[in-house]
A and B are shown apart, each in its own frame.
Chain A
């Protein structure tokens, strides 16, 4: 085994030297990107604060004044370890003028900071970043490579921020855990040296920045699931699990207190203060003025750092995120704890009310690992297969199919003719025309010219280079009287993250609405299929009812309930008078509050969508053989165990096609948003409709092209899942 960290499999295991070389290459690349960024990036917000803190610590340590180190209160919302370590790095330098403690977060950062102190600290931070990428490379070199070039990680580890150290220690805590958990348990409380190291790293993480401790939750969850796997369907053995976990957690807490001087005098009070500072801060004007929506973390993930053109070598973060989606399955199979980490961090970021971009470093490591697997699944594995097939053709089992003869074609032609004719006129040609429209600035002013052949004229002349493309200002489009060629610039913008706000909302909307529909639908199906249920037939009709009501009508019903002026919340509030609880008033303001409106729309979408999931799950449950249950019953399994280990694994493959179809519908949902007149949350279909309605046909067409490309990708994933895209229908 070349590395204790890498999982079995892959090319890497065959060649120790190659593996070592790859890790070294990632180290070199990460060093290059971080140092380049440390040189080129301008001084950012907060850098002066943290440098000031480091100087303060350095001066106190030089004086041997430990009490000052303990009592130093500036920036107490973040534990001191990162700042303290920065201070240690300054010890060997001559003392420079103390940077003043900033008072107002809105004041722009200092224009110059003392040298060489400033760059010394930046290099130290960069070094933590380089180590993180190298450690990840030891797990999976591809992932390490992706982290090395990740622009967000590069920026916020190359600058004097508090992210670099906890990002490193949290990654090490997880990596050490994955090694330790596979080895023999140690003698003391079942902890072997790797698990001890993991606990130490978790403690350091807590001392550096609290939120990075989600890795602790991920480790606990994985540890618990592992116990579940090992124990099979029996119930025993959780005591065996508890002792090492308690020891591990206790050690981490111990390290946290030991490395956090600010807690040494009044541990609990200080801890409390620093933890609850965030509550006040998240409600402060500073955060509110930033006006970042709840889905902003996803927006950060869908773009590269936009503010410093030319600093980053390969700004391809959006591609990494897409790759990560494809690698999720393999991540769950091979490195489950990283998958849980990714999910937990994402949920935390979406719920947490401050949305600063540096926070996404919490999940850069698992994201890049998922993306590494995605790259394997999409590119490397097919290449290896191709190579092997080329070396040894007999390995490739080629399906032999007789070629279609011209006779067969001729026989099929009359059958196909009517369908092909009309589909060409009403779908195929329009789609082609849509592509042409997206290359122009067609609007309602130029419609007359457009339909008289203007669109084709401009596109043909533009592509053949006879006319120069005109710039189209998307935010303030000019409507000309004649169609003009604008080139593929708009499409390029959209495909490189121009719609990342909408895409972020779409992802949240799709995941949540399909998840809720599935949850409720599955629960109802399980109940309806349980033996001896009374009134089964009646209940089934009740549960199917929302499906029979047209989506538009159903949404309208909910809208009347939600109405800010005459809806239920308002009526109840008026009935109660002054005693009305605040939540009722909040509910009436849903049009201004994006999160509340999201929740209300999700309720309506769940109501409308769960019956289909229930029907699918019922049909699936009927296909699971009762013999399986009988066998499980003999083994003594029941309740939750039975569901998790028998029903769910057998049912999931049957549900996935329906889930994907429902996801496509949620992604394209339009009428719901139309009826709700949603202003803050909406899908691309909705935007496209209103652009077309206001006469910006070209922009609407470009968005549609993007939607169709996403759809094609989803369907390709889908047909992989349902083997042949054969008999799959709506649902």
Chain B
């Protein structure tokens, strides 16, 4: 391939600067609003950098988010619900994913199709019947109920992605273990599980994020203000007509920054876990 001339280099760098501006516009805007001390209710003038840089809004929001609970309690609820959903999805789906990857049984193809359908189904499509059914079980308004709902949203995808991980492990390794006299369970425990641990973590992380960032369905299910999660608090602040922009933006930071850090740190694994499968198919 021919080398880039300097003209091309300049053109490319210029194009990338345009992309940079596009990417940074909303991020800068929310940064300015969250850290500008002059904003009382909403910004009145156009600027990209805070007029008076301050952490006050942050501190105030931290001490008194829009809901009755403190940020810690909101965070605790979020962690219980989404962490529980991730744990349920991974632990209960693990053996199923392995069976789909390595064993043969009746209805395997239909099951696979069902898993794909389940991973691509919009949460709302499952929400309506779950609402009725959880009401019937009497747990609709509890954190446990919400945990089950988020499990239903993320479990099919978890199984699907863990399955592709197990499939990618060379069969020879397992066969060697079998020859040494290990049982199927032992092989799974000693060989497959450790080898695919990073990908399983990624699957769990995706399940976690599904719950962590969900709010609309949460608001439909939850009635008591004790059970509000962080994402729900944020969306509640948006819908509240006298929304204070500063604290709203601060909440976005509190909620978003950890996720961005996780994404950037685990970038390599996440990209692999989310994309490799899609390209495998074309590679065959």
Measuring CB to CB, which residues of chain A are less than 8 angstroms from any residue of chain B?
404, 408-409, 411-416, 418-423, 426-427, 429-431, 433-434, 437, 442, 447, 450-451, 455, 520, 523-524, 527, 530-535, 539, 541-554, 556-561, 563, 565-566, 568, 571-572, 574-575, 607, 615-616, 619-620, 623, 626, 629-630, 633, 638, 653-654, 657-658, 661, 664-665, 668, 670-671, 674-675, 685-686, 688-689, 692-693, 697, 700-701, 704, 707-708, 711-712, 715, 719, 722-731
Contact between chains at A726 and B281 (CB < 8 Å): yes
Complex partner residue of B213 from A551, A559, A620, CB under 8 angstroms: A551
Give the residue name and chain of the A residue nearest to B136 (CB): A451
The reply on B279 being an interface residue by CB < 8 A is yes
Contact between chains at A411 and B103 (CB < 8 Å): yes
Among B156, B215, B216, B255, residue most surrounded by chain A Cβ atoms (within 10 Å)? B216
Show 9 A/B contacts (Cβ-Cβ < 8 Å), sorted by A: A408-B104, A423-B118, A426-B130, A533-B4, A539-B19, A543-B19, A693-B220, A707-B125, A712-B117
- With a cutoff of 8 Å between Cβ atoms, the chain A residues found around residue B184 in the complex are 411
Measuring CB to CB, which residues of chain B are less than 8 angstroms from any residue of chain A?
1-4, 8-9, 12-13, 15-16, 19-20, 22-27, 29-30, 33, 42-46, 88, 92-93, 95-99, 103-106, 108, 112-113, 116-133, 135-136, 148-149, 151-152, 155-157, 159-161, 164, 167, 184, 206, 209, 212-213, 215-217, 220, 231, 234-235, 238, 245, 248-249, 252, 255-256, 259-260, 263-264, 267, 271, 273-284
Given contacts A560-B249, A729-B277, A729-B278, contact A550 B209 (CB under 8 A): yes
Given contacts A527-B12, A722-B281, A727-B167, contact A704 B26 (CB under 8 A): no
Contact between chains at A730 and B133 (CB < 8 Å): no
Contact between chains at B116 and A566 (CB < 8 Å): no
Contact between chains at B281 and A657 (CB < 8 Å): yes
- With a cutoff of 8 Å between Cβ atoms, the chain B residues found around residue A430 in the complex are 126, 129-130, 133, 152
Contact between chains at B92 and A418 (CB < 8 Å): yes
Cα A652 to Cα B70 with chains together (Å): 50
Cα A692 to Cα B248 with chains together (Å): 27
Contact between chains at B277 and A688 (CB < 8 Å): no
- With a cutoff of 8 Å between Cβ atoms, the chain B residues found around residue A533 in the complex are 4, 9, 12
Contact between chains at A689 and B33 (CB < 8 Å): no
Complex partner residue of A547 from B117, B157, B263, CB under 8 angstroms: B263
Main secondary structure, interface of A, reads helix
Contact between chains at B43 and A404 (CB < 8 Å): no
19 new A-B pairs (CB below 8 Å) besides A426-B130, A692-B220, A715-B116?
Answer: A404-B105, A404-B108, A408-B104, A419-B159, A423-B156, A524-B19, A544-B264, A545-B23, A560-B245, A619-B275, A633-B1, A653-B282, A658-B275, A670-B216, A697-B128, A711-B117, A722-B278, A726-B280, A729-B275
Contact between chains at B284 and A723 (CB < 8 Å): yes
**Least CB distance, A680 to chain B, in whole angstroms:** 19
Give the residue name and chain of the A residue nearest to B45 (CB): A571
**Least CB distance, B79 to chain A, in whole angstroms:** 15
Given contacts A619-B279, A623-B283, A626-B1, contact A711 B124 (CB under 8 A): no
Contact between chains at A671 and B281 (CB < 8 Å): no
Contact between chains at B23 and A531 (CB < 8 Å): no
Contact between chains at A633 and B2 (CB < 8 Å): yes
Contact between chains at B26 and A607 (CB < 8 Å): yes
